[in-house]
Structure 1
Amino acid sequence: MRDEGDVGAAVYGRVPARVVLRGEPGGWHYVIVDKASTEERHGLAGPGVRWRTGGGNDPEPPWWRRRLADAAEAMRETIAWRLTDRTFAELGVEADIAWFAVDDPVSWEGLVTLRDPDPARFPGRAAPFLITLEPGRGALLPDASLLFSTRAPDVWATLAAVAERCATAPPTPSPVCGWAGHQGVRVGRGRLALSTERGADGVERLGEIFGARGPGWGGSPELRVRLDGIDLLDETAADVVALFRELGHEVVRRGRTVRLPALGLMLSEPEPEPTADGDAVLEERFTGVSLQPPSDDAPAPRWARG
């Protein structure tokens, strides 16, 4: 058995058959088993991968299993993305994983099925999900518009239609401090989230449009966010900032966020990822973008969303 932290480091051409995910107090890990029964063990990093056990016969708090279940769900998604990226790079095919619980929520096994690659893997073969931001007004979606004057019921109906179009789970409400309502959906490997706020007239309307997409392939359909012809999540962060400055916009940087106050726009860079030798590597592209109505007293965007 080999123990490798990078799923892309496997021997070229191995065909995966099963995946096993296990959670232990020392951390979560997964094992890929190929058709020749060769195993590869991979550690998992990130929030929720380690926990402390109580002393003696201390009972688990009532929320503990829910926390483990949420962590396991996120890790199954991460594993699925990593494995299908690997099989595409090595074999030219995608890998789908059918998971079933062995010991819910800390032990899972998945059967791997290979299929033809997604057309979105190849430039020009699949249309992206394009969000065109219009500062002060809202945004245009492929089949709808989201205006800051849109009332909450229509905001959530539009988001539900996006989920149906993208064949992802429907939106569910989640509390976010500072907003009257907040819901989000998956778009490929990205996320579109909307927040509402209650105006002085007591009516709840759209208050923020948020799009996020991590590094690497963006999934199908790929989420893209554009403003003034600039692909905010596709161009390098330095080029995006330079283009806005050339257009005469004030650009304010604070830490890993860039704000354009006159537009109500904020862009975020990801947390630096540590490498094997301990150095931090910063992704060159922005991974989050938020648009609000330009206002001095508008609530600040929230980049960490469930």
Structure 2
Amino acid sequence: MVDEGAAEQDRAPARVLLQGEPDGWHCVVVDGAGGERRSDLPGAGTRWSTGGRADPEPPWWRRRLAETAEGLRESVGQRLTDAAFREFGAEAVITWFAVDEPVAWEGLVTLKEADPARFPGRVAPFVITLEPGRGALLPQANLLFSTHAPDAWTTLTTIAERCGTPPPKSSFLCGWADHRSVRVGRGTLALSTDRGEDGVERLAEICGTRAPGWSGNPELRFRLDGIDLLDQPAGDVTALLRELGHEIVTRGRTVRLAASGLTLYRPGEADRFTAVSLQPPAALGALRIL
């Protein structure tokens, strides 16, 4: 008689190896029976290339490798836990250890109970209601275009604490005084600030991104006029907005509501929008591409 529990344990992931090499990155998932599955990962290789010249690696090169490895660890973790849920009805949690930082990592995998947000209706979504010309309404907070920069960053920190995600991340984005983002589930809420004619730095753009697939806990949603902008097929969203009287300007896979300062982005062959940005209409100049 076959022990189904033992057989399932043998098939379950036990370890993950992440390796960066001169020609690229890959990971190897090792199951309980020692079986291995290798996957090549997106991303440039680890060798500093100067077109044949013998220039030394620049001081920032290792930091770049560390950032690449961090992003790939997160991506591998999401892919593995999604696969574990489909196959075993459980989440896969990876505890990473550096083998040769920053280019080689080993992770120990533990299966735990499925996240309740996997099941519709079990966890309330994190809904951001966009109000063109004014800003956005959040659960227990508002982000208005009149908001001073320090208050906007405080709001992001509060969101991170509430959602149990890392603190806001600051990054350089050309054209803005400052740009910071925070994770909400598997989505991202980002804010950009600019200085007005009075020299005061205020909120100037609200952006949200969410990749296809499970949206994490909590699910990040963006609504305008009662429409979930990132949840319905892009064609349906565009048609509904047009029916509500919005003037639609389409350029490739980008949809812009000319009078509202709202832009929706749909990459590649995706059937849904994966990003949205809102600016005060008067601030819109050249179209910004995420």
TM-score (norm 2): 0.92
Distance apart, 1:172 and its partner CA:
3.1
Instruction: Quote the Cα distance in structure 1 between the aligned partners of 2:16 and 2:34.
Output: 11
Distance apart, 1:61 and its partner CA:
1.9
- Residue of structure 2 in register with 1:4 after alignment: none
**In the superposition, relative to structure 1, how do residues 148 and 299 fare at CA in structure 2: closer, same or farther (>3 Å)?**
farther
Correspondence for 1:48 among 36, 44, 52: 44
Residues 225-265 of structure 1 deviation map (CA, whole Å, 9 limit, x = unaligned): 00001000001000010001111111111122110011110
- Residue of structure 2 in register with 1:276 after alignment: none
**In the superposition, relative to structure 1, how do residues 292 and 19 fare at CA in structure 2: closer, same or farther (>3 Å)?**
same
Mapping 1:177-188, distance limit 5 Å = 177-188=174-185
1:170 aligned onto 2:157:
no
Instruction: Quote the Cα distance in structure 1 between the aligned partners of 2:286 and 2:113.
Output: 45
Distance apart, 1:59 and its partner CA:
2.8
1:91 aligned onto 2:88:
yes
Mapping 1:145-164, distance limit 5 Å = 145-164=142-161
Distance apart, 1:13 and its partner CA:
8.1
1:140 aligned onto 2:127:
no
**In the superposition, relative to structure 1, how do residues 57 and 195 fare at CA in structure 2: closer, same or farther (>3 Å)?**
closer
Please state whether the residue corresponding to 1:295 is helix, strand or coil: helix
Instruction: Quote the Cα distance in structure 2 between the aligned partners of 1:224 and 1:56.
Output: 49
Bigger Cα displacement from structure 2, 291-300 vs 76-85 = 291-300
Instruction: Quote the Cα distance in structure 1 between the aligned partners of 2:251 and 2:122.
Output: 38
Q: Structure 2: which 5+ runs fail to align?
A: 1-7
1:269 aligned onto 2:256:
no
Correspondence for 1:103 among 82, 90, 100: 100
Is 1:128–1:224's contact at 8 Å kept on the other side of the alignment?
yes
- Residue of structure 1 in register with 2:272 after alignment: 285
Is 1:132–1:227's contact at 8 Å kept on the other side of the alignment?
yes
**Counterpart AA for 1:132:** T
Query: Percent identity of the aligned residues?
Result: 64
Please state whether the residue corresponding to 1:156 is helix, strand or coil: helix
Correspondence for 1:207 among 175, 190, 204: 204
**In the superposition, relative to structure 1, how do residues 57 and 252 fare at CA in structure 2: closer, same or farther (>3 Å)?**
closer
Instruction: Quote the Cα distance in structure 1 between the aligned partners of 2:136 and 2:283.
Output: 20
Task: Compare the two structures and name the one with the higher helix fraction.
Answer: 2
Distance apart, 1:301 and its partner CA:
3.5
Correspondence for 1:242 among 227, 239, 243: 239
Instruction: Quote the Cα distance in structure 1 between the aligned partners of 2:11 and 2:213.
Output: 22
Aligned CA-pair RMSD: 1.9
- Residue of structure 2 in register with 1:196 after alignment: 193
1:219 aligned onto 2:206:
no
Please state whether the residue corresponding to 2:161 is helix, strand or coil: helix
- Residue of structure 1 in register with 2:229 after alignment: 232
Instruction: Quote the Cα distance in structure 1 between the aligned partners of 2:194 and 2:10.
Output: 52
Please state whether the residue corresponding to 1:62 is helix, strand or coil: coil
Distance apart, 1:48 and its partner CA:
2.8
TM-score (norm 1): 0.88
Bigger Cα displacement from structure 2, 50-59 vs 99-108 = 50-59
Instruction: Quote the Cα distance in structure 2 between the aligned partners of 1:35 and 1:13.
Output: 4
Mapping 1:21-36, distance limit 5 Å = 21-36=18-33
Equivalent residue pairs, number: 282
Instruction: Quote the Cα distance in structure 1 between the aligned partners of 2:47 and 2:262.
Output: 38
Q: Structure 1: which 5+ runs fail to align?
A: 1-10, 273-281
